[in-house]
């Protein structure tokens, strides 16, 4: 067993795209644990398909490297606030953090979010100014920004004495001097060993181990990952598992694994301060304690921030139900959602009066969008409603989530963006114009106002704007309409296949979402109206052929390019009376009530109910 003095447990935290995963790649490559013939895939820690496609980290992952005689356990965490449940748990596993900040962008909303979590746990910080090779890098100002952020978050005097490493993760270089770079990551390794404390837990006390992450393996079943908080754990040992409610059961440790690079290696025993994986305990869950049977003491239950957004997940009941998916029944949908709860502690699933509908609550649109995308790839068919913020009652007042919004955009787009945010009840708190033609704006805005704003924002800034936001606090519910779609939609009156003639006949009414030949059904949304009301159209109609030849003959007609939607864009686009139908092959938007006359009747009843 490694000496406790030679162990370092660190988490890497940063805003999205500031280079966490790339930095871990270079630390792994230069540590010498890979043989010459072994190649390390780029962004090796992002093993999930969705992570590789989107270039973001969704799930926290751990690795370990050996430098000189030291074992450095590294945990790579997500940067998005939507995956805050992962970040919070990781802080329980480590003694220090590497806070990575972009040398040009400086502190961003998620930098603040992840750093707050680290300081709350009283962890020792080290600051890494990454992308130092960027032409517009401004390391001195960025360090000042970081210091201001530490003070704002109430850091202790010891935490304010943080060391700074300047690095270019992409080039694999680092140094303690912003003016020049050494060709290796040695400055980073040395700083970690010198400044991050070794574990302080006692090895000679009764065993305690907190399950922080979950993994699954076909052969071993459920694998619990976490840190030994005290004592020693051995293969074959009998232990007591204490769940979140305090109930106890006896279990046996079948296998123990340590980490080396990207591999798990089987070990015989581990002691206080080690980060390990345990196999062989059925039904184990995140937040449970594995303890000594003679002295079973539970560790404090993990505190997780509450969800702020909810959606209804339903069984697909459209006319095309069951055509493209493998799993379509209510029982399958329920099992899959409850299975997700085992590994995602920030998710909530509530059953409703209907056996075909479930209310799923999460930390944001991205959080729920990733779950839907994963289910879709696994072969599930489902429908979801428009995302809604969760309003809470605090001290007798109705309160809604408020987001801290940070926008970088060209100066010429500023007026249009400020006007659009004003109508969404946003309040400006800061504006920085450094004279380069780029402006940074900071707002506090109700989370409702951000639903559906992303696509509109890109249009306003011609694609040059960058928008980031994270949860700030709960505030009084803003009066009136906040956000939402202002345009009506074109709704199909027929079922069949769309035709070029049918599409061209309604093109002047709005923007179409479909190509000719697409299969559609009555009540499906086929386009966006130019005005604020919905209209019913027939894009299946065919041109009547006659035997009279036209003197002018048809001129060659050109159809406008239809507008396509990603999953997140479709979820943002929905209104209260609409569903998004999701299958492994298609994303369709539809009205909840498909028949036109039934929709009109329901709308009349709704209006009369409101008047009475």
Q: Which residues are annotated as a binding site for GTP?
A: 17-22, 130-133
Among the listed residues 355, 294, 67, 81, the one whose alpha carbon sits nearest the alpha carbon of residue 196: 67
Residue carrying structure tokens 């969008």: 369
Q: How crowded is residue 571: how many other Cβ atoms within 10 Å of its Cβ? A: 24
Compute the distance between CA of residue 2 and CA of residue 16 in angstroms, rounded to an integer: 34
Backbone φ and ψ for 64, nearest 5 degrees, come out as -145, 140
How many CB atoms lie under 10 A from the CB of residue 507?
A: 14
Asked if 271 contacts 203 with a C-beta cutoff of 8 angstroms, the reply is yes
Q: What is the DSSP string of 168-224?
A: ETTTTEEES-TT--BSSSHHHHHHHHHHSPPP---SSS--EEEEEEEEEETTTEEEE
Evaluate whether 298 touches 291 at the Cβ level (below 8 Å): yes
Asked if residue 189 lies in contact with residue 43, where contact means CB atoms within 8 angstroms, the answer is no
State the binding site. Answer: 17-22, 130-133
Tokens read off for 605: 């009843």
* Cα separation, 159 vs 177, whole angstroms: 21
Residue 499 CA, distance from chain mean position: 39
- Vertex 43 angle, CA 307 and 80, to 5°: 20
Report the C-alpha gap between 525 and 83 in whole angstroms: 32
Q: Alpha-carbon distance 477 to 369, whole Å?
A: 25
Q: Which conformational region is residue 455 in: left (phi greater than 0), alpha (psi within -120 to 50 degrees), or beta?
A: alpha
| Cα gap 227→271, rounded to integer Å | 9
Q: What are the φ and ψ backbone dihedral angles of 511, each rounded to 5 degrees? A: -100, 125
Of residues 589, 563, 571, the one with CA closest to residue 507: 563
What are the CA-CA distances from residue 225 to residues 5, 9, 79, 107, 241 (Å)? 22, 14, 20, 31, 14
Q: Find all residues with CB under 8 Å of 241, minimum gap 6, and list them.
A: 248, 249, 250, 251, 281, 284, 288, 289, 290, 291
Do 428 and 407 contact (CB within 8 A), yes or no? no
Sign of the Cα pseudo-torsion (185, 188, 189, 191, in order): positive
CA–CA separation, 432 vs 442, rounded Å? Answer: 9
Q: At what angle do helices 414-422 and 453-460 cross, to 10 degrees?
A: 150
| Structure tokens, 362 | 């999460």
Determine the angle formed by the axes of helices 109-120 and 139-152, rounding to 10 degrees. Answer: 50
Q: Which among 397, 391, 340, 342 is positioned nearest to 370, based on CA atoms? A: 340
């Amino acid at each position: 067993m490694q000496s406790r003095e030679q162990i370092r447990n660190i988490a890497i935290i940063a805003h999205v795209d500031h280079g966490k995963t790339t930095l871990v790649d270079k630390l792994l490559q230069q540590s010498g644990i890979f043989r010459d013939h072994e190649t390390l895939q780029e962004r090796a820690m992002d093993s999930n398909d969705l992570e590789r496609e989107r270039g973001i980290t969704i799930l926290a992952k751990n690795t370990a490297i050996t430098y000189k005689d030291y074992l450095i356990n590294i945990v790579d965490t997500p940067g998005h606030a939507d995956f805050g449940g992962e970040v919070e748990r990781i802080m329980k596993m480590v003694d220090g953090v590497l806070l990575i900040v972009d040398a040009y962008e400086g502190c961003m909303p998620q930098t603040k979010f992840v750093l707050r979590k680290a300081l709350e746990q009283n962890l020792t910080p080290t600051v890494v100014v990454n992308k130092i090779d960027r032409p517009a890098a401004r390391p001195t100002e960025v360090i000042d920004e970081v210091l201001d952020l530490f003070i704002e978050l109430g850091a202790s005097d010891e935490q304010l004495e943080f060391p700074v490493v300047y690095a270019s993760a992409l080039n694999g270089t680092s140094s303690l001097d912003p003016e020049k770079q050494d060709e290796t990551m040695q400055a980073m390794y040395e700083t970690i060993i010198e400044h991050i404390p070794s574990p302080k837990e006692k090895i000679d006390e009764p065993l305690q181990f907190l399950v922080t992450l979950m993994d699954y393996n076909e052969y071993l079943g459920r694998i619990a990952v976490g840190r030994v908080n005290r004592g020693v754990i051995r293969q074959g040992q009998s232990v007591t598992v204490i769940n979140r409610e305090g109930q106890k059961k006896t279990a046996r440790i079948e296998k123990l694994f340590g980490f080396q690079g990207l591999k798990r290696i089987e070990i015989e025993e581990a002691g206080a301060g080690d980060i390990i994986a345990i196999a062989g305990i059925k039904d184990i869950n995140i937040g449970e304690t594995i303890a000594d049977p003679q002295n079973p003491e539970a560790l404090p239950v993990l505190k997780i921030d509450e969800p702020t957004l909810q959606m209804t997940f339903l069984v697909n009941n459209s006319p095309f139900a069951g055509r493209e998916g493998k799993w379509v029944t209510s029982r399958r949908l329920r099992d899959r959602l409850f299975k997700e709860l085992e590994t995602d502690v920030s998710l909530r699933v509530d059953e409703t009066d209907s056996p075909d509908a479930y209310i799923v609550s999460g930390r944001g649109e991205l959080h729920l969008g990733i779950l839907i995308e994963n289910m879709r790839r696994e072969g599930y068919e489902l429908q979801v409603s428009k995302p809604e913020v969760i309003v809470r009652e605090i001290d007798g007042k109705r309160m809604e989530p408020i987001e801290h919004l940070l926008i970088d955009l060209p100066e010429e787009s500023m007026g249009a963006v400020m006007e659009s945010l004003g109508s969404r009840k946003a309040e400006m708190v800061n504006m920085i114009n450094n004279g380069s033609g780029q402006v940074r704006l900071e707002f506090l805005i109700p989370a409702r106002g951000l639903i559906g704003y992303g696509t509109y924002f890109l249009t306003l800034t011609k694609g040059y704007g960058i928008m980031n936001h994270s949860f700030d606090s709960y505030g009084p519910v803003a009066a009136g309409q906040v956000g939402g779609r202002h345009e009506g939609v074109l709704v199909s009156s027929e079922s069949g296949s769309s035709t070029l003639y049918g599409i061209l006949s309604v093109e002047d009414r709005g923007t179409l979402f479909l190509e000719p030949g697409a299969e559609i059904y009555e009540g499906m949304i086929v386009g966006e109206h130019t005005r604020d009301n919905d209209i019913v159209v027939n894009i299946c109609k065919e041109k009547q052929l006659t035997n009279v030849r036209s003197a002018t003959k048809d001129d060659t007609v050109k159809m406008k390019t239809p507008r396509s939607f990603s999953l997140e864009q479709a979820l943002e686009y929905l209104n209260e009376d609409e569903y998004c139908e999701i299958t492994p092959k298609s994303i369709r938007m539809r009205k909840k009530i498909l028949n036109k006359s039934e929709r009109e009747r329901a709308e009349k009843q709704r209006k009369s109910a409101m008047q009475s």
